[in-house]
Amino acid sequence: MKPRHLPLAACVVALTCSMLACNYQSQSTATWTAVPILPTVPPSPAPPTLPPSAVPDPTSTPAQILRPFPLVEDPGAMFAYTTLTGDTLEALALRFGVEPVQIMGGSPFPASSYLPIGLHLQIPNVLEAISPGGDLLPDGELVYSPTAADFEASAFIGGAGGYLSRYSETLVDDSVLSGAAIVQRVADENSVNPRLLLAMIEERSGWVYGGPPADADALLYPLGFSIPDRRGLYQELSVAATQLNRGYYGWRLGTLVETTDADGARVRWNPTLNAGSVAVLHLYALLGGADRYLEGVAGQEGFTANYQSMFGDSWSRAAAAGPILTPELAQPALELPFAIGERWSLTAGPHYAWTSGTPRAALDLSPITSEEPCAVSASWVTASAPGIVVRAENNTAVLDLDGDGRENTGWVVVYYHLATYELIAPRTPVATGDALGHPSCEGGRSTGKHVHVARKYNGEWLAADGPVPFILSGWRAVADARNFYGSLVRGDERVTSDSSGQQGSTIWR
């Protein structure tokens, strides 16, 4: 049967937060001025130069790679599919709607690890109504990956000279952020590529190159989500980043195979699409509906044309950077983030790395003390490995393990809910066990002091109980069916999460 797309109306999805590790973004009140407003926080020193082998040469001009979208074709009785970076057997089975044993290739497949890239598979076509296929956006242009290692959002915004370069916003904590600072903060927090965020802003509002809008609602809701308590660019961009991540990681894991709007209309995504393409399609389906989402992404003035006009050939850039994930990927040795001899509680098993759009990549650990539940603890959160603290702000410390001083390349460990008091300074080299900050309730919502810890590789959040399991001091994370629940297992020992830190949740080095 020839694939077709189903009707889909406009939709706004409210975001939800979890009690212990939700990273709810501060509501903002937008203000506008005729002169540029600079970020209130001084910029960090320039990072060290990245080794040439680690990032594509920005001066080179690779041959353009043509990737058509949309492709509306009849796959017949079988899909011919070539495996992509990050594919797993389980996720493919969910996306194609088949059992794993129905996926046919030339050799046995690993059941739980990443599949080799480039395998040619034959998969039965059991789907009746699907979206068009083709290639819309590489994975590396969705996540904050090595493809953006040479990209400076603030310089691009300043050079474009549009309204975004003059925009400022006041958050509820009275801090003032420029438009450039907002884009960079949302990119950092959600690990979404700043090029993509800028393309979304320009396509939806024209703020990157154009002047201020005359309509008051367009000033408050530049992307068009129009959620009453999420006004201003920071909130709108955070909502967009959450939905992009929801589409990306949901497709990566096979947990999101279709998009449904508030009226119940839905579209099933073509199973041959890559995760980056599904992420953008998911967002535009929510914003535009079935009668407009294809036009929004593939029309003459749509997302794809706009993205290429602003940033050139994304596929060539992604090819030069290489795959984000490989089947050989293995976690380096990591230690529990506290001192030897101390005892802490596993207060939350695998749960969202950042917002509800991100995978279950994080664990929560709390010191066992007699302190008040939300007192800033005298205990220290410590470095799980040697590296450089590339970012330390907003109750977050980001530890880069490969020493290149960049958050979007190689292995990174993110620590959240650290107190502002005695938070380590950015650009600080550390050894394993060095102090980073104190566990607290600061940042987001929390019922007790703790540290929220998660991993990224090449900018991609990695599920704690995924193909590359989260292992700390030999303790391996095991997820429960429920978010925030799970265990740490080391040999015959097992520690089970408990939000109140009761017996059985105690963990040690």
Q: Tell me what pLDDT residue 3 has.
A: 36
* 106 and 217 share one domain: no
Question: Which residue, chain included where needed, has tokens 């190159």?
Answer: 209
* 140 and 113 share one domain: no
| Residue 328 neighbours by CB under 8 Å, 6+ apart | none
* 458 and 485 share one domain: yes
| 327 part of a folded domain | no
SS3 breakdown of the chain: % helix, strand, coil, rounded to 5?
A: 25, 20, 55
Count how many domains the chain has: 3
Q: Is residue 48 predicted with pLDDT exceeding 70?
A: no
| 56 part of a folded domain | no
For 463-509, how does the pLDDT look when each residue is reduced to its tens digit (9 = 90+)? 999 999 999 999 999 999 999 999 999 999 999 999 999 889 999 99
Q: Tell me what pLDDT residue 463 has.
A: 98
* 292 and 428 share one domain: no
Q: Tell me what pLDDT residue 265 has.
A: 80
* 151 and 296 share one domain: yes
Query: Using 50, 70 and 90 to split pLDDT, how confident is the model at 38?
Result: very low
Q: What are 343's two structure tokens?
A: 């005892």
| 21 part of a folded domain | no
Q: Tell me what pLDDT residue 321 has.
A: 96
Q: Tell me what pLDDT residue 30 has.
A: 35
Q: Where are the beta strands (DSSP E) in 179-298?
A: 258-260, 266-268
Question: Which residue, chain included where needed, has tokens 């083709």?
Answer: 134
* 447 and 490 share one domain: yes
Pairing of strands 78-82, 387-393: unpaired
C-alpha to C-alpha distances, 23 to 37, 382, 423, 451, nearest whole angstrom:
26, 21, 18, 12
* 279 and 175 share one domain: yes
Please choose, from the candidates 264, 181, 174, 190, the residue with its C-alpha nearest in 3D space to the C-alpha of residue 24. 190
| 220 part of a folded domain | yes
Helix (H, G, I), strand (E, B) or coil at 144: coil
Question: Which residue, chain included where needed, has tokens 């703790």?
Answer: 450
* 192 and 151 share one domain: yes
Q: Is residue 47 predicted with pLDDT exceeding 90?
A: no
Q: What are 479's two structure tokens?
A: 């997820």
* 117 and 156 share one domain: no
Q: What are 74's two structure tokens?
A: 């009849």
| 299 part of a folded domain | yes
Range in 50-54, 137-141, 149-153, 415-419 the model is least confident about: 50-54
Range 331-349 average pLDDT = 97
Range 127-149 average pLDDT = 95
Q: How far apart are CA 442 and CA 190, in angstroms?
A: 18
For 81-105, how does the pLDDT look when each residue is reduced to its tens digit (9 = 90+)? 999 999 999 999 999 999 999 999 8
Q: How far apart are CA 386 and CA 454, in angstroms?
A: 16
Helix (H, G, I), strand (E, B) or coil at 30: strand
The share of the chain scoring above pLDDT 70, in percent, equals 87
Q: How far apart are CA 207 and CA 111, in angstroms?
A: 46
Q: Tell me what pLDDT residue 62 has.
A: 53
For 96, the domain range is: 78-124
Q: Tell me what pLDDT residue 63 has.
A: 59
The DSSP letter of residue 288 is H
Query: Using 50, 70 and 90 to split pLDDT, how confident is the model at 263?
Result: confident
The share of the chain scoring above pLDDT 90, in percent, equals 76
Mean pLDDT of the chain: 87
Q: Tell me what pLDDT residue 80 has.
A: 95
Which CATH number is 403's domain given?
2.70.70.10
| 453 part of a folded domain | yes
Q: What are 465's two structure tokens?
A: 């109980």
Query: Using 50, 70 and 90 to split pLDDT, how confident is the model at 450?
Result: very high
Range 252-256 average pLDDT = 97
CB 387 within 8 A of CB 399: yes
* 183 and 235 share one domain: yes
| 187 part of a folded domain | yes
- Check residues 27 and 167 and name the one with the higher pLDDT: 167
Provide the whole-model pTM. 0.88
User: Tell me, what amino acid is at 157?
Assistant: I
Q: Is residue 349 predicted with pLDDT exceeding 50?
A: yes
The domain boundary, picked from 124, 157, 187, lies at 124
- Check residues 453 and 264 and name the one with the higher pLDDT: 453
User: Tell me, what amino acid is at 101?
Assistant: V
Q: What are 404's two structure tokens?
A: 């290149």
Q: Is residue 400 predicted with pLDDT exceeding 60?
A: yes
| 388 part of a folded domain | yes
Helix (H, G, I), strand (E, B) or coil at 16: coil
Query: Using 50, 70 and 90 to split pLDDT, how confident is the model at 444?
Result: confident
Q: How many CB atoms lie within 10 A of CB 110?
A: 12
Range 193-218 average pLDDT = 94
* 240 and 110 share one domain: no
For 279-325, how does the pLDDT look when each residue is reduced to its tens digit (9 = 90+)? 999 999 999 886 678 888 988 888 999 999 999 999 999 999 999 99
* 503 and 459 share one domain: yes
The DSSP letter of residue 219 is H
Range 384-388 average pLDDT = 98
Q: How far apart are CA 18 and CA 499, in angstroms?
A: 12
